[in-house]
A and B are shown apart, each in its own frame.
Chain A
Amino acid sequence: MTPDELRKSVDTIAVIILENRSFDHVLGHLSSPEFGARKDLQGIANVDEQDYLNPNTDGEGVAPFWTDDHPLDSDLPHDPDAVARQLAYSEVTHSYAMNGFVKAFEDEFHTSVSKPPVMGLLRPDSVPTTGALAARYTVCDNWFACIPTSTAPNRLMSMCGFTNHRDTGILLPDQTTVYDWLLEHSVRWRVYAAGLPFFALMPRLAPLVLTSHFRKFEDLHSDLANDHPDDWPQVLFIEPDYYDCPVHFHPPCDNHAPLSMAPGERFLAEVYSALSSDAKRWSRTVLIVTYDEHGGFFDHVPPLRVKYRNDRCGVAFDSTGPRVPAIVAGAFAAPGVSKELLDNTSILQLIAERFGNPGEAYSSEVAGRMHQNIKSVSSVLSIGAENTELCDVATALRRLIGAAPPFPTTTNNLRAGFDQAARNFAAKHQAEAFAKFPQLRDYVKAQR
């Protein structure tokens, strides 16, 4: 789609960024003869492929295997050092072997089993919503995590186009975000969050989180029904309840291991049902479903050689991270596969093309990635797609989700950061914070 076509045809861009799953783990089954044998995308046609073997500590090769969705015993390794080991750059072939997932897992978790969870590939029944969307809309099988590291730097890349942190710290550094860009460009935007919004971790943004830009997920339906079209946001970010946030407003549903995928699949079905419920509005909406990073799960496609340099903060990477599941839905997303090279900054490119001044790049950092062949999501869209038929996500909606999340297996920086953000929020903006997020009061009280 050209910028002109975008401006004429797209009113709303809706974005969901889930947590920590790789493309092959979630959608690799699409290529398997057992599960549909799609030849148009790069999934896992044969788990016994020799190059998919990941050596373990004992010298055995571990192949990927089909599995059903279930909570795991623990999170999986995905800090920058672990990801480097997973990508397994070879000085012999001068390429990434993608066969260090098992050793990275065994080293960090003292676990040696014949079927390590990092090599598990979900069967289609485990991902009913993602599967339904993948069948109806455009699967992007060359969509990569921006950088080979953990959650916070990848979410900063997604929402700022750059990161000042190499790994996940306690709180987020003060960076200019897409929210600032949208405000500056007078674009109507909102965040609908099922839990505490991720950017509550950035202290500067706490007052903004208290404004009507940030709303509860359960308000999405009523706002869709009641808002005048001129008030409806042009850019929507829809956030799950994060597993690593110790204060929950819903059962966590971000798909972060050790959480199972079931709550996230239900959340995704609810989002899709809500947004597609108004046919007229849906016909002018682009919905993007993606993930922040691969979370330690195996993927067989090597990362792109897209360099990231932030010399001021000493952050440098020579490639993207592994592929993540990504689907673009809506009337302009034809059923099938996009082979374009994409990452989460592709969303910022799309926003700039649609809502920026003609020819304006989102930022110099995002332009830098463009020059390294990262395309805009507009490259996935087609004015002629006319894909107005909806998909059936009732299976996921019918599933019962247990209210209790698995007990956290590690205390990590993100968990500590959310805790600190919640406390700061309550301390600095008590009345407003408790009015907006009543669960915060209970959380802070329980900590005393």
Chain B
Amino acid sequence: MKQKLNCLASLFSIVIPMSLLPACTAQIKSFSVVPRHICRGERVEVQWDVLGSPSIEATPPNGGITNGPLASEGHATITPTTTTQLRLHVVRLIGSSTTSTQEVQVVTDGQESEVMTASLSDTKASPGCGDGKVWATIHAERFARNVRVATVASHPGDSRIYEVMHSGVSAKVAPDKPSTAFAGTPIVGDWALTVPLTADQTCETIPHNLVIDVTTQCAEELP
């Protein structure tokens, strides 16, 4: 209510210090697309909640979203056939505008790999180091269940052998030798990675990231 009064006061030309203007500033409280990584033509739920008047522009245009004004809180369903950017723009009568962008990525079979990364600084990755090895977990999120694993490899330049656990499968992933042990499992979910320290490494000198490269395919195209 206080915010509305401040905005109304501005309309009637009462001088309002800029310090009060945050009350009139366009704000994006939430904006999400789920899932964000899909197979061609899968449904994606778009959700937004803003202060101000929103509009969403899809590039390339998508029938599920109209370019006109929208309610301040809402959702829509789209079915992209190609990678699509959704640009949420919010304006208010007084104050400033704001923009956020969500990109929906449409998987192209095996052509590109997802570089999945766990940081040893991220407590949510449950990282650790000891007994001659280092470990962390990647939480792969916002991938549609139809986006499946084709191969898993270590990242170029990383000469370590990874022990990988995912979807109830456990396998070693060696450099330059993509593993098919996880083929057909959904990429979404947890990937537990463990790597032995080399002779010249300590827990203080190891690289900060554990990384695997995952090529993907769509479920309906599985052999």
Contact A59 B116 (CB under 8 A): yes
- In angstroms, how far is the closest chain A Cβ from the Cβ of B78? 15
Interface centre among A57, A98, A109, A411, by most B CB within 10 Å?
A: A411
Helix, strand, loop or mixed for chain A's interface? loop
Contact B101 A55 (CB under 8 A): no
**A448 at the B interface (CB under 8 A):** yes
Contact B17 A93 (CB under 8 A): no
| Given A100-B119, A112-B102, A447-B15: A61 and B209 interface contact (C-beta under 8 Å) | yes
Our count of residue pairs bridging A and B at CB distance below 8 angstroms stands at 157
- For A66-102 the 0/1 string (1 means CB < 8 A from B) is 0000000110000000000000111111111111100
* Nearest opposing residue in chain B for A419, CB measure: B18
The 13 listed contacts between A and B (C-beta, < 8 Å) are: A50-B207, A58-B140, A58-B141, A58-B142, A59-B138, A59-B140, A60-B115, A91-B123, A93-B208, A100-B121, A100-B122, A112-B36, A411-B96
User: How many residues does chain B have at the interface if contact means C-beta atoms less than 8 Å apart?
Assistant: 61
**B200 at the A interface (CB under 8 A):** no
- In angstroms, how far is the closest chain A Cβ from the Cβ of B21? 5
* Nearest opposing residue in chain A for B37, CB measure: A58
Task: Give A246 to B95 CA distance when docked, in angstroms.
Answer: 12
In-complex Cβ contact of B97 among A50, A88, A110, A409 (8 A) = A409
Contacts of A93 in B (CB 8 A): 120-121, 129, 203-206, 208
Task: Give A95 to B120 CA distance when docked, in angstroms.
Answer: 10
User: How many residues does chain A have at the interface if contact means C-beta atoms less than 8 Å apart?
Assistant: 48
Task: Give A88 to B121 CA distance when docked, in angstroms.
Answer: 6
- For A112-132 the 0/1 string (1 means CB < 8 A from B) is 111000000000000000000
Stretch at the interface among B60-68, B69-77, B151-159, B176-184: B151-159
* Nearest opposing residue in chain B for A99, CB measure: B119
Contact B119 A88 (CB under 8 A): yes
Could you tell me which A residues sit within 8 Å of B by CB distance? 48-51, 53-55, 57-61, 63, 73-74, 88-100, 109-114, 170, 246, 407-411, 415-416, 419-420, 423, 447-448
Contacts of B116 in A (CB 8 A): 59-61
Interface centre among A50, A88, A89, A423, by most B CB within 10 Å?
A: A50
Contacts of B138 in A (CB 8 A): 55, 59
- For B118-142 the 0/1 string (1 means CB < 8 A from A) is 1111110001110000100011111
Contact B209 A50 (CB under 8 A): yes
Contacts of B25 in A (CB 8 A): 410-411
In-complex Cβ contact of A61 among B21, B24, B88, B211 (8 A) = B211
**B85 at the A interface (CB under 8 A):** yes
* Nearest opposing residue in chain B for A258, CB measure: B99
User: For chain B residues 88-103, which have a beta carbon within 8 Å of chain A?
Assistant: 88, 95-103
Contacts of B115 in A (CB 8 A): 53, 60-61, 63
- In angstroms, how far is the closest chain A Cβ from the Cβ of B41? 20
Contact A89 B103 (CB under 8 A): no
